[in-house]
Amino acid sequence: MPTQHSAARRSSNPTFSLAISAFFWCNSLYLISVICSLLFLIGPFIFPRTLGIFVVLPYLSWNLLFKRDELQFGSPWPYFSRNYPGFCVLRRYLELNFGKIPEKLIELDASDKAQAVFAVSPHGTGSDFRILMDGMLSQILPNMGPKIRALAASVLFRIPFVREMALWTGCVDARRSVAESLIDANLSILVVPGGMDEQIRTEYGREIVYLKKRKGFIKLAMRKGVSVVPVYVFGSSDAFHTSNFLFSLRHWIMRNLRMCIPIASGLWGSSCPLPVKTTIVMGEPLLFTPNIDGQPTDDELDAAHKDFMTALTKLFDEHKEPLGYADRKLEIF
């Protein structure tokens, strides 16, 4: 059980007005997403000419047939990421901040090879931190920050409004071909290796990472000769109260239909995260070099993946006490 001291250090203490603002902004984003999705799914049948011909058809035709930015280099909007009022409110509400950046990562950012694969854990119920941190990366890493693209599930780019929010905050489709083209273009990528498997396993009060079977990001880095940066987000696991109700059924749906259905509740039972201090810590960049350039063997990949998990555990252990998580252990599945 967490001690009162550690729980107090982990909790944010927003004013009532700030909590109300966060509640409004966060839930309004989800509400708009649902309304837009329903309009595009049902609207054309109710208003075939008004919505179907003049809204839905042009939108889908342009975005899904011609303007496939998510399959290229994305279309980030830095000003929006930094200054959108909802994001600013949520950053203050969660007291979102970065821990001390390692010297070797600062050196990498200042070098000619300012490029890396940022592997972020844990996913959490909603990974709200991912959107919020996008507007801060250019301040943390001046060279790499503006050139980081986050790999996101393909389905996000098929949902109106959600698609735009994802693209504006630096997301691209999480296909391997897209990731490779980004690295080849001297961009960096941000990936949450645990994905939906980690998302559905999120439990309030536990630090769970689904990583033992996730080696693709390591293999990509080894093939392309770029460093991997372990990143841990303290607070992500406690952003929502969670439930394991019907876990087996929801896991089957995730496996077979590629849909993750977490059962969780946030502030006042809503989709707004609970007031938990959120701190993003980054480890030193890890460069795994195979004996034959660009061609890691299975043994080399396994060894590099093991070293990464060790580095992530070390990163967690080094920061857990000062951040109020001394009572927790990182669980890697």
Q: CATH number of the domain that 162 lies in?
A: 3.40.1130
Provide the token pair at 73.
């280099």
CB 18 within 8 A of CB 92: yes
Q: Which residues contact 11 (CB under 8 A, 6 or more apart)?
A: 275, 276, 277
| pLDDT tens digit sequence for 248-273 | 999 998 888 888 889 999 999 999 99
| pLDDT tens digit sequence for 25-54 | 999 988 998 888 888 888 888 888 888 888
Percent above pLDDT 70 for the chain = 97
Using alpha carbons only, give the angle 272, 277, 278 rounded to the nearest 5 degrees. 85
| pLDDT tens digit sequence for 112-154 | 889 999 999 999 998 889 999 999 999 999 999 999 999 998 8
pTM score, two decimals?
0.92
Distance in angstroms (rounded) separating the CA atoms of residues 124 and 108: 28
Domain that holds residue 92: 4-332
Distance in angstroms (rounded) separating the CA atoms of residues 277 and 93: 8
- Whether 4 shows a pLDDT value over 60: the answer reads no
Maximum pairwise Cα distance, the chain: 62
- Whether 303 shows a pLDDT value over 80: the answer reads yes
Give the chain's domain count: 1
Distance in angstroms (rounded) separating the CA atoms of residues 90 and 22: 6
Nearest to 151 by CA among 216, 94, 204, 211: 216
Q: Which residues contact 94 (CB under 8 A, 6 or more apart)?
A: 12, 128, 129, 132, 235, 273, 275, 276, 277, 278
Distance in angstroms (rounded) separating the CA atoms of residues 40 and 160: 8
Provide the token pair at 303.
């060894």
Distance in angstroms (rounded) separating the CA atoms of residues 99 and 318: 11
